[in-house]
Amino acid sequence: MGVTAARGFRAAGVTAGIKASGTPDLALVVNDGPSLAAAGVFTANRVKAAPVLWSEQVLKGGTVSAVVLNSGGANACTGPLGFQDTHATAEKVAEELELSAGEVAVASTGLIGVRLPMDLLLPGVATAAAALDTAGGEAAAIAIKTTDTVHKTAQATSPAGWTVGGMAKGAGMLAPGLATMLVVLTTDADADAAALDTALRAATRTTFDRIDSDGCMSTNDTVLLLASGASGTAPEPAEFDEAVRAVCADLARQLIGDSEGASKDIRIDVTGAATEDEAVGVARVIGRNNLLKCAIHGEDPNWGRVLAAIGTTDAAFDPDRLDVAINGVWVCRDGSVGEDRDLVDMTAREVVITANLNAGGAAATLWTNDLTADYVHENSAYST
């Protein structure tokens, strides 16, 4: 399952001792080929962790033979020595598996500004290499968890005989990121690096890029797609792109469903926008409004918060033509009071906010969470 659902991959998850909790904290994913094609997308944050700087270089070659991931430390804001640690980690993987370090991607998650305990991490790499298994996908998914309460895997198989599988931890990407999001996708389809890059960028644009749990972008977000070609089948591009998208969407939905302290998963559908970019922008502003996120936590259909949020954007709309529905009840019509707010049932975990800008034909969906006291508790005690 997960990263070992597709043929040609082995994985492992072990306890190197990086985390004080003593839970698994090191994962290794190896592509046994015959192809080693790969693509990746990384955080847009200008403050990038050492493993992101390293892996961006690795991915430029379009070839990845292994990915090593650790929880328990982000290796971000650790300076040149932190970068040396990432390099040494890739070298250790290369040594254990007789690969080139330049084809080993590295991903890390955890506290920023702390050096990794290399005396524990490097022996952990050897342990992980020894534990590699074609059924190791679940163990790997478990080892990359930080504050995740459950591990996340997904997969899709084509009638043509190839599979896309993946694992994820954290929440958010590119704008967002409760904790860091790390994702590794694998496929046994025979696709080159350019095809993988096209599929991955199209998929992340409408999945991981459209979850925004708390508006905070990580220094470490990484999404990788590795192809072994072990199925011997070259996929039909549209079908392959859709399979990658479906696996990403599945994992993204799991991330939102497991966000720190959240009690509600909120889907924001913006319709009637002049452009898709404006629809996304409006959805993001709604999804980042702390007052609205608190109101939804309180199961309060406070649509005024939605309008106040929309009003801060420069998207095309007329304030007197805004319509807003909460769970299907159009509580705001033409920028003013609509249907009775008492008709709105917000008891379920999933809440849908629909905002029609009545300014065009474009639409977008973004997922976020409510803001809770548990979120505050979890994040006020994070590094202490």
Could you list the residues known to form a binding site for substrate, using ranges: 146, 169, 180, 260, 379, 384
CB hemisphere CA count around 361 (13 angstroms): 0
Candidate residues 130, 135, 150, 337; the one interacting with a copy of itself per rule CB under 8 A:
337
Question: Which range touches a copy of itself (CB under 8 A), out of 62-70, 186-194, 274-282, 376-384?
Answer: 376-384
Binding span for a copy of itself by CB under 8 A among 57-65, 186-194, 267-275, 297-305? 297-305
Whether the CB-CB separation of 294 and 303 falls below 8 Å is answered with: no
Among residues 4, 109, 163, 180, the one annotated as catalytic is: 180
Report the distance separating Cα 202 and Cα 207, nearest Å.
Answer: 9
Residue numbers 346-375 binding a copy of itself by CB under 8 A: 371-373, 375
**Beta carbon of residue 125, minimum distance to a copy of itself (angstroms, whole number):** 24
Q: Which is nearer to a copy of itself, 197 or 370 (CB)?
A: 370
Is 180 known to be catalytic? Answer: yes
**Binding residue for a copy of itself, selected from 32, 63, 77, 246, defined by CB under 8 A:** 77
Angle between helices 303-310 and 276-287 in degrees, nearest 10? 130
DSSP letters spanning 267-290: EEEEEEESSHHHHHHHHHHHHT-H
Q: Which of 119, 159, 320, 347 binds a copy of itself (CB under 8 A)?
A: 320
303 forms part of the interface with a copy of itself (CB under 8 A): yes
Taking residues 211 to 250 in sequence order and writing x for each that binds a copy of itself by CB under 8 A, - otherwise, the string is ---xxxxxx-------------------------------
Nearer to a copy of itself, 46 or 149 (CB): 46
Q: Which CB sits closer to a copy of itself, 37 or 329?
A: 329
Complex with a copy of itself: residue 45 or 71, whichever CB lies closer: 45
For residues 64 and 53, give the distance between their C-alpha atoms in angstroms, rounded to a whole number.
Answer: 15
Considering beta carbons, is residue 181 or 309 the nearer one to a copy of itself? Answer: 309
118 binds a copy of itself (CB under 8 A): no
User: Judged by CB under 8 A, which of 288, 351, 357, 369 binds a copy of itself?
Assistant: 288
Beta bridge partners of 270: 355, 364
Shortest spacing between CB 170 and a copy of itself, in angstroms: 13
C-beta separation of 165 from 1 below 8 A: yes
DSSP class per residue in 76-93 = -S-HHHHHHHHHHHHHHH
In sequence order, the 6+-apart residues with CB closer than 8 A to the CB of 224 are 38, 39, 40, 55, 59, 64, 67, 105, 107, 183, 184, 185
Q: Contact, 321 vs 307, CB < 8 A?
A: no
Of the candidate residues 310, 329, 357, 362, the single one contacting a copy of itself (CB under 8 A): 310
Going residue by residue from 23 to 62, which x/- string records binding to a copy of itself, judged by CB under 8 A? ---------------------xxxxx--------------
List CB contacts of 114: < 8 A, sequence separation 6 or more.
Answer: 73, 74, 78
Q: Return all residues near 80 (Cβ < 8 A) that are at least 6 apart.
A: none
Report the chain's C-alpha Rg in angstroms. 21
Q: Choose one: 12-20, 186-194, 312-320, 348-356; the region binding a copy of itself (CB under 8 A).
A: 312-320
The token pair that represents 48 in the structure block: 């990038």
Measured distance CA(135)–CA(227) in Å, rounded: 17
Place of tokens 């399979």: 243
Give binding residues as ranges: 146, 169, 180, 260, 379, 384
Cβ–Cβ under 8 Å, residues 38 and 228: no
Positions that interact with a copy of itself (CB under 8 A) = 44-48, 74, 76-79, 82, 111-115, 175, 178, 214-219, 288-291, 294-295, 297-300, 302-305, 307-313, 317, 319-320, 322, 332, 334-337, 371-373, 375-384
The residues annotated with a catalytic role in the active site are 180
